[in-house]
Structures are given as structure tokens and as C-alpha cells.
Amino acid sequence: MPVCALPNADGFIAVVPEIDAASCSGYVMVTAQEYGSLMDFTQVTGPEATQMFGLGFSLVFFGGFISTYAIKMALRLIKLL
């Protein structure tokens, strides 16, 4: 459970359980397990990055192919008229 921690007059960080973590103006402290699950959720792995790069690259080429195909069909239609 995240808790709020604020610096006290001596310069040390003190946990203040009365303040909600959403409205904390200092530091929010979490347990090691919560931190681990947060990092597992937010980190992008190498295979994920490779997959997304390949997908984006494929979409660019597919979009280019579709646009040039549509232009080619329009030119053929104009030549038929």
C-alpha cells in the first residue's frame, strides 16, 4: 500500500500515514513487491520493441502500396474515358 513521506524539520523523511498518496506533495513510498510489479508492467522488453517496430514498418509500406495502387487505378480509369 503506498504511503506519503515528507521531509521533517531535521531533514529526514518521515512517513505520514494520514495523508492520502494521491494528494501527497512529497514522496510516495511503495513496498518492494509493488515496485517489482510496477516495473514488470511498465518496462518494454527487446522482443516487444522489435515486434512494434516491425509492425510500424509494415504499416508504412502497406499504406504506401495502397495509396499508389489507388492512384494507378485512377489513372487507368481516366485513360479509359
Structural domain harbouring 60 = 46-81
The pLDDT-based confidence of 21 (bands split at 50, 70, 90) is: confident
Q: How many domains does the chain contain in total?
A: 2
pLDDT of residue 53: 96
Is the pLDDT confidence value at 81 over 90?
no
Q: Answer yes or no: do 2 and 38 share one domain.
A: yes
CB 26 within 8 A of CB 7: yes
Q: How far is CA 30 from the centre of its chain?
A: 21
Q: Answer yes or no: do 20 and 36 share one domain.
A: yes
How does pLDDT run across 22-43, given as a tens digit for each residue? 888 889 999 999 888 888 877 8
pTM > 0.85: yes or no = no
Contacts of 72-78 with CB under 8 Å at 24 or more apart are none
Q: Answer yes or no: do 19 and 7 share one domain.
A: yes
DSSP-derived 3-state class of residue 4: strand
Q: Answer yes or no: do 64 and 52 share one domain.
A: yes
Q: Answer yes or no: do 22 and 9 share one domain.
A: yes
